[in-house]
Amino acid sequence: MHAVIDSERTSAGRLDAAETLSRDALAALQLERLRGVLRNAWTNVPWQRERLEAAGLHPEALLQLDQLSALPFTLKTDLRDHYPFGLFARPVEQLARVHASSGTTGKPTVVGYTARDLEHWAALMARSMRAVGVRPGDLVHNAYGYGLFTGGLGAHAGAERLGCPVVPISGGGTERQVALLVDFGARVLCSTPSYALAIAEVAETMGVDPRQAGKLKIGLFGAEPWSAAMRAEIEARLGLTAYDVYGLSEIMGPGVACECACRDGLHGWEDHFLFELIDPETGTPVPDGAAGELVITTLSKQALPMLRYRTRDITRLVTTPCACGRTHLRILRVAGRSDDMLIIRGVNVYPSQIEAVLLTLPALSPHYQLVVERDGKLDRLTVQVEAQPGVAAEGFEALARGAAHHIKSTVGVSTTVEVLTPGTLPRSQGKAVRVRDLRPKAG
């Protein structure tokens, strides 16, 4: 491990000065930048000014970071209620770009960037890529979707900023992806983890072994929860080292946090963001080391300053020093969103916990979907999972019983498992749909 870290230091020069600021220097920088963000919000966003005034938080009166806790959280619905540009701090003609997330219901969430915001985003995504070992000149195969989703253009700009040629292939057309990955000899693959697996699967059916050419070394995967077992599966099938990158459009896009060679949590880039962790029920800070919901304040965004944005993502924060030398805190793997958490007969469960169990069973594939139904007053969970190719159908029932038993003893939840023939479930080209909720809608 240390050899990796040393080569990271020497082959790319020193770490950025911004990555190794002392904790005190980081806090001082955050305070100065937060004042600027509050000024921007106060001056340019009437809704923000009202909230700041109500909280008695005048930008010039901000003397300590923790004064921010007087301000109520910002929610996704606040963005929707001000659709499309009502929370922007710049008029449309001063924007350089707009992205939006479709969401499953209602209006999309729209986010905007000035040219300087795009500069910062590219720099942070480049920093993230460098942290996982991407180097200038590495060919980057970018299979994140281009368009309103921030993944494609975000990873693209970061790679270019780092000095990497990019294959802007976007998601989909998986056979062509496989052919170009191999023919062009990309060193880096960027995609969602579920799409990386779909690429591996199609490569196998095409009789292509992406490991053989030996060029592909690094995978930078994010935009959806994935388990450690899924990481191991992708690594084995594609022959690369897989790293986790985190972000969300409301705050910026990919590159808000990223692993380093240590793979011991994702460094949240604290010179541009302020991270808090709260109890999702009460909104109060959780004790050190406990799990909670991540709340993020942007420290440099011009077009869309976000103050205490509730991400709904559940994680833990680590502030002890990392062996890589970076001083920025670490966000542990995001197990899931609080809105994706299922409560099955009183047991809280995230899809990624079920995924981790399924992947321990060699006869089962990582292609699965969870179906939630209402059974009288109780919720019922069916796990549909494909068998690995070549597993005899006569064995499916016994496999299903074994898997249900494993899930019960590991996660604590009772499920019905259905083992399906390979290729039955839909494959993702971006974020995988893990849960089909067939419960009657409230109201």
Q: Is 246 in the site for ligand DLL (CB under 6 A)?
A: yes
Exactly one of 311, 353, 365, 429 binds ligand DLL (CB under 6 A); which one?
Answer: 311
Which string of x and - marks every residue 67-106 that binds ligand DLL (by CB under 6 A)?
----------------------------------x-----
Residues in binding contact with ligand DLL, number by CB under 6 A: 21
- Report, in Å, the least distance between residue 368 CB and ligand DLL: 17
Peptide bond into 193 cis (omega under 30): no
Q: Is 227 in the site for ligand DLL (CB under 6 A)?
A: no
Q: Is 158 in the site for ligand DLL (CB under 6 A)?
A: no
Stretch that binds ligand DLL, among 11-19, 29-37, 216-224, 284-292 (CB under 6 A): 216-224
Nearest residue (CB) to ligand DLL, 31 versus 148: 148
Using CB under 6 A as the binding rule, the residues of this chain from 102 to 141 that contact ligand DLL are none
Q: Is 254 in the site for ligand DLL (CB under 6 A)?
A: yes
Stretch that binds ligand DLL, among 69-77, 205-213, 244-252, 295-303 (CB under 6 A): 244-252
Would strands 364-375 and 378-387 be described as parallel, antiparallel, or unpaired?
antiparallel
Q: Is 391 in the site for ligand DLL (CB under 6 A)?
A: no
Nearest residue (CB) to ligand DLL, 39 versus 431: 431
- Report, in Å, the least distance between residue 139 CB and ligand DLL: 19
Q: Is 275 in the site for ligand DLL (CB under 6 A)?
A: no
Q: Is 292 in the site for ligand DLL (CB under 6 A)?
A: no
- Report, in Å, the least distance between residue 313 CB and ligand DLL: 5
Radius of gyration of the chain (CA): 22
Q: Is 245 in the site for ligand DLL (CB under 6 A)?
A: yes
Exactly one of 334, 358, 387, 411 binds ligand DLL (CB under 6 A); which one?
Answer: 334
- Report, in Å, the least distance between residue 189 CB and ligand DLL: 12
- Report, in Å, the least distance between residue 366 CB and ligand DLL: 16
Chain contacts with ligand DLL (rule: CB under 6 A): 101, 144, 149-151, 222-225, 244-249, 253-254, 311, 313, 334, 337
